[in-house]
A and B are shown apart, each in its own frame.
Chain A
């Protein structure tokens, strides 16, 4: 193994192939400063466990599983909330809304977002892995550390609960608005 992560061939291959996906995963769940912190931590873990890291198609779900744990640890340690608190104290008027808030420009999206955030954390994560990371059930199983059958069940249940939550908010599906989506 090379002394430095940057000069190790296997690490560089994994890093180059999956950096963007890991960055997106973290950026979707954290603000940029925390997301950068988490990304570095994920690849540091990957570097130190390079011999145990799966190769090929399984590498990304494994990295996302590490990212999930890193984010949970960040949240657990309270560093993030302390930083947020400090930031709020310094800036009474938040200039930069959170990652999801930036996207919610249509009322119908706000309703779906509200329905999504009404679910428990485990359900929200499953839905995001399916919709945002576009993972399959076997890949979700790797990220969550459960069996494929369990992952399938979790996806089904979380989807059912999201549908019910949306229905409760009487959200009408507007495919046209979605297709135009983006930054509109």
Chain B
């Protein structure tokens, strides 16, 4: 495992920390590091959002036998940047009889919730803003804060489309949170820890989706379905069903405030995909096959951060594939799927996994 140390980021981060300590008092070091990491994440946020929107449009186009954006730059690569410039210079329209304070607050709550969730994601060995010992629980908690922003947006807009969209979204997120939690709990039971770095370490000899037999696979499928619903994406996008509700909870928003909602939606997709990659697919761990020493050695030379993004974008592709294949569910079908199918399945699944772990039947 020498190459795993080759790409270890903890040396780099600790040397930066030492360097800063040599220049200022420890309190200032903490402050500077917070600002630095915040700036890095914001930059990453913006770039990732732009890229994901472009990717979504291209993937959707190819699936529908179209070309997709192809005018701005080579292959339309700068299309989303042009869109961003357009959104930035658009007028912010104040809504009459809306609750101005809540109306302006809502996009920030949504975007802060996804920014906070990002903090606990392990991008590579030693490249993690904060390694909580309850990492899984923390991500679950802060990512569900976003629904507060959505409900606020719907309420403060004083528009029927917005309020219906927000209510649907609230019902959806509150119920699907259960399945997401239970399917993550499956791997927590397997690995015996909620700390994301420990969960990744426990997958050094095989990813949980392979090690955990069929129950882990069921948990993975349930997580994919439930988290697609939680981030309000198709086929569960009835919070912003454009054919019925124009744009749902962000109907009344314009310009940069709309862009915040839009960005948060895509970042949430990234967070969910990164979480699935971390929990089920081994995070930044390279792909190894049993005793194929040569193969494993070659895989070790691909940097962990590349592995992390490969797996994450594979999950993102799956989520996009769902969106551009399946028709939208009705609200009653949506709740039936959760309460009559996903929740019982994941409940039985977790009991089964607990039994497996007790008997020591997993690898």
A and B pair up: no
Taking Cβ atoms with an 8 Å cutoff, the residues of B that contact A are none
Taking Cβ atoms with an 8 Å cutoff, the residues of A that contact B are none
